[in-house]
Amino acid sequence: MARRTITRRKFMQLSAAATAGSLLAACGAGGDEEPAADQPAAEAPAESEAPAAESTSQYNEAPMLKAMVDAGELPPIDDRLPVTPRIVTPIHEVGTYSDSIRGFTLNETDRAAPGYIVNRGFIDIPPDLDGFGAGLPTGGWEPYLAESFEWNGDATQLTIHMRPGMKWSDGEPFTSEDILFLWEDLWFNEEYTPIAPTRCFVDGQPVVLETPDDYTLVFKFPAPYPTFPFLFRGRLLATTPKHHLKQWHPSYTDGAEYVDLRENNNYLDPDFPVVTPWLSKGYDESGLRLERNPYYCAVDTAGNQLPYCDNYLFPFAGTQENAVLMAIAGQIDLGIRNMQLFESLPTLRENEERGDYRLLFWPGTSFTTGNHITINYRLQNEKDQEIAEFFRNKSFRNALSMAINRDEINETLYFGAGRPASYALASSSPYWDDDMDSITMVNGQFDLAQVDSIFDELGLEKGDDGMRTFPSGEPVTIILDAATEITVHQQVAEMVVADWRDAGLDARLNAIQRSVLFSRWRAGESHTYMWGTDANEIPLMRPNQPIFTPKGHALDMLPVHYNDDPEWLQELGPPEGGDAMFALQNEIKKEIDPVESKRLHKELFKYHTDWQFDIHIVADVPLMVLVANRVGNCPEVANGLQDFTYAYPEQFYIKS
């Protein structure tokens, strides 16, 4: 493959301007630090304010919504907002109502790009992640969709007060009945979900949800569960409109079938009610369009209903290379997810004026700022049974990790900007300590001599050609899948395959479309695949995974991960060491003391690098963010934990 074309020094020069600005912002220079949400902001200049509505309401609305009200197609704004709206303080200034803002998505299977734009939950993380980390595990949170919340003294009960008068995007009331429907009729319904999600249990006992009235949720835990908000962060609890979904639910509709319920439980369906800033208008041949939610619960400090932009567009880019070309042509307003093609950095820098954009560099905590190899512990093909046995062997996994030249990958593909790691915890994490450099590199040093020794001990014969064979005499073949849409994943995978071949393995790269990759994985056909590490600043932030480690696809070792998993998977247990790790994670879930919680996290990190259930490669790669100069209120520095989620995209606007 092509090797590095610019040096680390050149990379630092190319990113210097943006990085300097980010560091100044992080240090509070320039006065751009975001005020705490729900606090008054200084009055913005008149020319930047959204136009006042011609009504007696204290709130303003977008012109497109005002036209619908005037035409009798929509209720007045006071009837659409909750009694107490969520107040969002704009990053820089009160914005203006705008037409469309343009992101991009690779294709229709890249659902996370739009998903993170609309990822608002009852309780959420504030923009100040440092302050948030200092208050963990129970402190630092702030309400968003919720009006307020409180814990009892020992973290065995969490009460969430919803916003009275809040509505779904179709105007129907958003109440505790919707969350109870999710909890009892979906998650704890064995016919729909054979085994309820692990996050709904603590100490092996289920969490109980009580709804004493239309706007109160009381979660009762059989043991302390201070980390509950981590695992239910984002829109997870606010995604099931009962009035819409019950038409396909057998308990509510005669003749309904669960297969239809699953098919229609899709927030990107244009008919699906949501409580997010934008709602889906569906895909066409050009991409996805999100349109403002006329019932969205938030306003800015001047009383303007959010979001500012009527539409959020996600045109298809196809590949990362095409996204770069679209940016240069001035066709992208905001690029973050899948912009991490560092070999394109010189080209993007040279064309900033032509494309009318600027590049920012945020802390490396998102999907494409690191990578790991997922190992399949549930291979089903008869021909794969020997490699399946070795995948479940700790020493073999350790050898696979030590056979990877992480330094070369970091220098070649990331120009030395990342940090080699066998566990991709971000150095900006509140769980980072001085000794984490060494902990996150256990079994991560490139050491072919040690690899040879392990393979010998495992009985993998070395032939005259240096290639290893199983006891059966068959070559030790490992296939590494990588998504064709994500170029950097293919590049890392290509280098890993070369390293494994140097270690005597018959390693092969299988570059396939993302949708095919996951189909192979779920069918138990894929050996391994390359993916990104995200949420690696706060590992608990992967609520859809059965494991707390970053991007834990690798640890689909629990009996059931997907609702429609086949019977053989439901009977399959974790590999050796998995049960002990799950027990440690349960202790973390329960620990209320910040000091002890941090100690337990460190034990988990050590356990992960020792057992190497999945193989991390590089961490802390700066998150390259492309922002069109016409976009207002995008922060110079933010936490890219989940793309733009914590930059509050609902307050982005297009400057006139």
pLDDT, tens digit (0-9, with 9 covering 90-100), for 103-115: 999 888 887 778 8
Distance, CA of 629 to CA of 301 (rounded, Å)? 24
pLDDT at 240: 95
> Going by DSSP bridges, is the β-strand pair 208-213/205-206 parallel, antiparallel, or unpaired?
unpaired
pLDDT at 540: 64
Q: Which residues of the chain have pLDDT under 50?
A: 1-6, 17-53, 543-570
What's the token pair of residue 272? 């699906």
- Residue 418's CB is within 10 A of a number of other CB atoms, namely 24
Using DSSP's 3-state secondary structure scheme, residue 235 falls into: helix
pTM for the full predicted model: 0.84
- Helix (H) / strand (E) containing 479: strand 477-483
pLDDT at 570: 46
Of the chain, the end-to-end C-alpha distance in Å amounts to: 45
pLDDT at 573: 60
Distance, CA of 143 to CA of 131 (rounded, Å)? 15
Location of structure tokens 């290379």: 321
Distance, CA of 425 to CA of 639 (rounded, Å)? 14
Kindly provide the b/e burial profile for residues 58-82, where b requires at least 16 CB atoms within 10 angstroms of the residue's own CB. Answer: ebbbbeebbeebeeeebebbeebbb
Distance, CA of 177 to CA of 179 (rounded, Å)? 6
Distance, CA of 20 to CA of 43 (rounded, Å)? 29
pLDDT at 550: 29
Domain 123-264's class?
alpha beta
pLDDT at 560: 32
- Residue 20: CB partners within 8 Å, gap ≥ 6? none
Its CATH architecture, for the domain 1-119+276-363+623-656, is 3-Layer(aba) Sandwich (3.40)
* Residue 391, phi then psi, degrees to nearest 5: -60, -30
Q: Where are the domains of the chain?
A: 1-119+276-363+623-656, 123-264, 371-558+594-619
CA distances from 564 to 202, 268, 283, 518 (A): 24, 20, 25, 14
pLDDT at 620: 86
What's the token pair of residue 137? 């595990």
Taking every pair of Cα atoms in the chain, the longest distance, rounded to a whole number of angstroms, is 87
Answer left, alpha or beta for residue 648, where phi above 0 means left and psi between -120 and 50 means alpha.
left
Tell me the fold of 371-558+594-619. Dipeptide-binding Protein; domain 3 (3.10.105)
pLDDT at 115: 81
pLDDT at 381: 84
* Residue 73, phi then psi, degrees to nearest 5: -95, -5
Report yes or no: 645 and 116 within 8 Å, Cβ to Cβ. Answer: yes
Using DSSP's 3-state secondary structure scheme, residue 9 falls into: helix
Span 227-238, pLDDT tens digits: 888 778 788 899
What's the token pair of residue 271? 């008919």
- Residue 438's CB is within 10 A of a number of other CB atoms, namely 10
Location of structure tokens 């244009």: 270
Distance, CA of 604 to CA of 430 (rounded, Å)? 15
CA angle 205, 206, 210 (to 5 degrees): 140
Query: Residue 438 carries which side chain, given as an amino acid letter?
Result: S
